[in-house]
Amino acid sequence: MTDYDALMAFERDTQALAQVAGRLGWDQETMMPRGAADQRSDEMAAMETILHARRTAPQVGEWLAGIDDSTLDAVGQAQLRHIRRSHARATKVPAALASKLARVTSVAQGKWAEARGADDFAAFAPVLEEVVSLKREEGAALAAGGDLYDAMLQDYEPGTTGAEIEAMFSAMRPVLSDLRAAVLQAEKPAALTGTYDEGAQMKLSRHLARTFGYDMQRGRVDKAVHPFSSGSGNDVRITTRTSPTDPFNCLYSTIHEVGHAAYEQNIDQAYLLTPLGQSGSMGVHESQSRIYENQIGRSRAFAGWLFGQMKDAFGDFGIADEDAFYACVNRVNNGYIRTEADEIQYNLHVMMRFDLERALMSGDLAVGDLEAAWNDRFEADFGYAVDKASNGVLQDVHWSVGLFGYFPTYSLGNVYAGCLHQALRTAVPDLDDHLAQGNTVPATDWLRDNVQVNGGLYDPRVTITMASGMEPSEAPLLEYLKAKFEGIYKL
């Protein structure tokens, strides 16, 4: 057996164990009894200890040193690129720190959920302070004298820096803010009223999942406090949530998570349980969920089809016709929740979180001051005050589980989706004819063939450049948003 073969066999087992750890996280969010929280934190810590030991194992370094990259094809070289990056990062983090982070974040996730339900940030602050302290310690180890936040970003968007994201956001913010202001001054389209059976919402959400190509033989749809997608390859699970007064929350959360899940299901099966069997970055991953949800799912053509599905599921629900429904699903409202925000305001929510978490990591913002800083920034950006913690600093799960550096990838995903959508429209000029019939196949097949099948074969920006024919830029997204919302609101 060659060094490369031995390394890949070892890596396959490591990837399999990581999938098991991920399943523990899925269970914690969906089915785990509340009384199991402490035991689950021990289980997660034990799994992380094993995984960290494998990722830093001396033989991994020996195998890597013994492989001549020039003897490998492009796939083999890409596998090594990922393994080298992972090994280099893992060896910088002490095993005890990795285990403690897994234990503390498992506990913190439960405390976040309790504090969110009670609208009590003070109850969550002590454990969040511990998470932030541990993440700063990890960041310092990874940065080796460099910028802590930049080091954290590499886990989610390799090759990107905080300064690059800040420059992109600075270009986007004034355009989005001006468009938001103009839209909010215009006449509003009709909104949904009444109540919607939550069982019927879940039935329709599963129908939508299949409509967007989600393979239910290799996945499932459950409910959770915060919708998410988990797993890869042949076991990819999603969650959604329901509200009796807002079926769009359920339906579009489902479409969004299916974008993530379809990506994982469509990666070349030859890459299963290898580093290439997952996306190259969270920004690329998010590009799939956002283009499924927005450019496809909220398009005029698809909205016309969904209008009929809504009537079949709920009867007459007070929206006059397909045009009114299209305006309704794209209605711009004042609101607190990022995941419920329209396409204009969504990125403004992300930009706020990016600035706050960057300040937390640099030490410029203390956890004790986070709620006040959030509320002040929100009022400055959106023009009204946060009414309660669950609508403010406690609305997202990310910080409780240590995902610092993750938030900006949501907006990077939107930027990437803008580039991909432009290319998709060129490649499939009759796309709207298909979407009007509820047929997403031409769109999802194009995304599968140009993005998803490659998994982590290419670096993030290379993936988007190859698929869209252009270097990633915010320009296509901003052009799309201006054309869409100026049309809906007759600006």
Can 340 be counted among the known catalytic residues? no
The strand pair at 219-223 and 235-240 is best described as parallel
Contacts of 475 (CB under 8 A, 6+ apart): 418
What φ, ψ does residue 130 adopt, rounded to 5°?
A: -70, -40
Burial tier of 394 (Cβ tally within 10 Å: 0-12, 13-18, 19+): buried
Say how far apart CA 164 and CA 317 lie, in whole Å: 45
Catalytic residue from among 11, 257, 293, 340: 257
What angle, rounded to 10 degrees, do the helices at 300-314 and 198-211 form? Answer: 140
Between the two ends of the chain, the Cα-to-Cα distance in Å is 67
Contacts of 144 (CB under 8 A, 6+ apart): 92
> Alpha-carbon torsion 205, 206, 207, 212, what sign?
positive
Helix intervals (H) in 193-342: 198-211, 247-266, 282-290, 300-314, 322-329
Contacts of 39 (CB under 8 A, 6+ apart): none
Amino acid (one-letter) located at 336: Y
Burial tier of 384 (Cβ tally within 10 Å: 0-12, 13-18, 19+): exposed
Residues annotated catalytic, as ranges: 257
